[in-house]
Each structure stands twice: as structure tokens, then as C-alpha cells.
Structure 1
Amino acid sequence: MADRWDQHRISRDRKPIQALKLMLIFFAIDLAWEVLRANVNASQKSDWPWRFTVLDPSTCATLTALMAGILVTRSQYAQATLPILNWSAYPGGSDFVKGSLRTVRLFNAGGGRAIVKAIEYRHELTTTEGESRSSLGPWLGWYEFVKSIEGLGLRRPEEIFVLHLGIGTSIPLTTKSGDGIELIAFGQAALGRLRLVDIRIRIEDTLGDIHEKQLRCLRGDADPGGESSSSRFAYFSAQRTPDSQSVQ
């Protein structure tokens, strides 16, 4: 069973593949008809419906095999050019937040392009001892998210950096997380105010299919089912290089 945090396809450009499938069905039916006609007595071929024909058997068989081959090739090409969004998080390394305690970078470790179609953010505030846990906020666009965190008194980019990743941006192809784009970075003040931050990103691949991935950029100590911030910081402190691991 796929985890909701895994990358998954949410829509597919079906027009080209549907056209190919319809052509394959048409040629396959016509081929079956021609085979059936070939087994009819010659005297009957001048009568209706046996005199009806579209393509000769050899041409029909060739086109049927061609359509089937194109469909198989397209499927293999889709796998070969599948973009795979990956991300890493580690202390330090931010180009914008001095003394960053957590920097998240995004990169494409797949075989094809990844064009940004949409990106959204949601967050949950830190609560003090004795306070009830605040609810997880709704998904927000970049402007709404920035306005929300600025309303908490956090300064950008000194205390928190949030990249404005525009629609149509290409996620860089690389296997090294350090070569990825800096998506978000948290300073001490940001970690004190934010308990949880998620990012949801949708991308378009070479064939026009849309994929979605959610990133667990920040998790507090009390988050059920998620890694604690302290455990993650300890892990990355032991492995200081940004290329060491990708946190999924």
C-alpha cells in the first residue's frame, strides 16, 4: 500500500494514448474480419456483408503490430523519463538564513523533466506546556503562507526563508541533494514558533502526466507517526555533508 507521502501520479494526458488504443482496436477488429473473410467461399465474397473490406490482411496486420509496439514503447518511455522528486534536510547550509538549524533542498533524481504546476504549504504552531495542541492549518499558496508566518513575527529571510517557486520552474536533475534548490530554511526563532510544516508540490513530466509529492519539512517532538525535530537534528549533525542522505 502506497504511503500518502510517496510521489504518485494524479492525472494523465489521456488523449494521445486513447487515440492509439482506438486505432489498435480498429485495426485488430479489421484484421479479425479479414481472417474471417479469407475462410469464406469465393462465391460468397461478392455478397453483402462479405464484400465489405477496409484494408488487405497484410497491411492490417502490420498496422496492428505497429500500434501495439507504439503503446509498449510509450509505456517504457514513461518509466525511463519518470521524474522522481527527492529532498534532504540538514542543519546549516542555507544561503539565506545565517545559522540555519534546518535547511530543506529539493531535487529531481529521476530520468526526465519535472515542471512545477502548483505548490502549497501548511503549518501548525508550537504550543506551550498546558496549552491544547493547535490544529493543522489549511493548504496555502506562497503569498498566503508568507503572510501567515510574518504574522507570527518571523522575519524573512533572517529567521525563515521560503523560496517563491514559480509555476513553470524546472526542478534540477541531479543525484546530489546539495545541488538541489533551497526550498525552505528555519532559524532558531522559526523553530520556536512552528511545530510542523508540510509542502505539497505538483509537477508535469515529459509526457504531460501530473505527479504529486508531499514533503514533511518540519516535525515537532510530539508529532505522532513522524520523526521528531530533535532526532532529525541529531542525525544530520552526525552526517554534516548535504549529500549524505535524503529524508523521506
Structure 2
Amino acid sequence: MMVYSRRHRGDERNGLQKLISRSIFYVYFPLFILIFLAANFVWEVVRANVSQQALTSWPLRFTLLNPSTTAVLVGATATLLIGRMQWAHANRPALGFAIADEGFKFDPSSDMWHVWLYNAGPGIAQVEGLRYKVRFVNDSTSTPATLSEINHTLASRGLVDGDDYFIRWIGQGAPLAAAKNPAEGRRIASLSTAALAHIVELDIEITIIDGVGDRHRRNLLIIDSLPSIAKSAISQLRGERYGEGPSSCSSAVP
């Protein structure tokens, strides 16, 4: 299920990468051990401050680890956990995307726009899943859709798969290695101006898992992020097709 912020679509925070969960084995399990050891240390401190006679009765007679051993284990576990968090932050993948024409020329006459997904962070990532949400011209709201449903709708509007549009499916487990620039990443979509004129909103939600098991998510707002020259061409084409005046390509609905 795709979750969307209540912020306005124009708010750039809608597309920020978010950490959605930590690794159970590498974070929550050590954290549980740390809490358990800390509780045991407090318990041993309490036992050390009561009389010897009281220690002979239940529950004060219960002991698991002596205070010195517990303190050593608490320090070691805390150090490992903090080190793990620092390493994970330093090697966190950074999902980025770019929309450009062929050769990144941003030529006003360009008719095809490509969407590049890349990992600008130092750490490798694996794709856990992609989800789509789309709103076509004449639709009242955006709705979740599968890739095959999007392709079918575009084809039903007279567009040619491979010529007017191409959206790549990235399967679960696909790697996203570190890249220096968008062109070294993955091209996940190619859309002509004619195809874009049929789409009011297109969001791609991507979830990845990093090298230490943490899960990250980013929502790519494709139509909102188009270059201005592409938006102008789309508005002009819609004006010719539907008789609209100049308008934002993200809000024009005939």
C-alpha cells in the first residue's frame, strides 16, 4: 500500500528519501540485549544495597550476572550498537533520479524524456519493490496501478509501446550500485511528449534495502519533476488537442 503525505504536491519534502525500518537482527536484537543487561545492572545495584538477610529471600536472592560482568557487557553492547549506527549512516544509499532528454542536452525541440534512477550514496542497495500511482487526463483522482495496467491504458489511447513510452520493471533484489551521475544509473522510463500529454500525475514509489538490512523509501514525482521545457511542450500539445489555454501540465484536466 502506497502512503502519501498530506502536504501539497508542490512541497519538495514529498519526494525525500525516508528510513522506514531498521534491521531486526542488527538493531532491535542488540537493543533488546542492551536493555536486558541494563535492567540486570540496576537489579544488581539494588541487591548490593540491601542487607544480607534480605538477600536470602525471594525475589532478592535471584541473580543472573554480577555487577562487574554486567557493566562490561553493557559497555561492549552499547559500543557495538553505536558503531553499527554510525557505519550505517556513513554508508547509507542515497536514491536520486533525473529526467532529461537524450544526451542531457535539454533541447526545447526534444520529444522524448528519460527517467534515470541512481544511487548517489556510498553503500550498495537492493530493490525491494516498486509501486505506481497514476492519474490520466479525464481521471478525477490518482489511483494505484500495476505496470501492465499503465501500459494497457497508454496503448488504449493510441500510443505505441517502445516508441511513445517505455517503463522498465525492476524486480525484487535488483542491485543499485553507487553511481557518480544519473547516466550511470538505471533508465526506468522513457516517455514522449505525446505520452506525457495523457498523464497528469505519475508517482513511482521505490523501496530498497541497504547493506545492513535497513529499509529506505522514496516517492518519485515524475510529472511534477519534469523540466520546464517539457512542461511547456506538454501544455502546448494539450492546448492543440483539447482546446485548452496555457496551464501547468500537472493540473490540466479537460
Q: TM-score range by the shorter chain?
A: 0.7 to 0.9
The answer to whether 1:215 aligns with 2:224 is no
Equivalent-residue separation in structure 1 for 2:192 and 2:55 (angstroms): 85
Match of 1:183 in 2: 188
CA 93–197 in structure 1, closer or farther in 2 if over 3 Å, else same: farther
Aligned residues of 2:100 and 2:227 also touching (Cα < 8 A)? no
Query: Using a 3 Å threshold, how does the CA distance of structure 1 residues 29 and 199 change in structure 2: closer, same or farther?
Result: closer
3-state SS of 1:148 partner: helix
Give the secondary-structure state (helix, strand or coil) at the position aligned to 1:208. Answer: coil
Deviation, 1:108, is: 0.6
Alignment partners' CA distance in 2, 1:147 and 1:168: 26
The residue identity in structure 1 corresponding to 2:196 is L
Matched, 1:104 2:118: no
TM-score by length of 2: 0.73
DSSP 3-state at the match of 1:166: coil
In structure 2, what is the Cα distance between the partners aligned to 1:139 and 1:18? Answer: 32
> Is the 1:162–1:184 Cα contact (8 Å) retained in structure 2?
yes
* Aligned equivalent of 1:120, options 122, 128, 131: 131
Amino acid at match of 2:167: V
Mind listing any 5+ residue stretches in structure 1 that lack a counterpart?
127-132, 220-225, 235-248
Deviation at 1:46, TM superposition (A): 6.3
In terms of fraction of residues, the more helix-rich structure is: 2
Does the Cα contact within 8 Å between 1:122 and 1:145 map onto a contact in 2?
no
Unaligned 5+ segments in structure 2 are 1-6, 105-109, 234-254
TM-score by length of 1: 0.74
CA RMSD after TM alignment: 2.9
Aligned letter for 1:162?
I
Structure with more contact order per residue of length (Cα contacts < 8 Å, sep ≥ 6): 1
2:125–2:176 Cα contact (<8 Å) kept: yes
1:73 Cα deviation (Å)?
A: 1.7
1:138-175 CA distance string (max 9 Å, x none): 12122222222122221121111211211211123113
Deviation digits for residues 184-237 of structure 1 (CA, Å, limit 9, x no counterpart): 112232133334322111112223232221112224xxxxxx777437679xxx
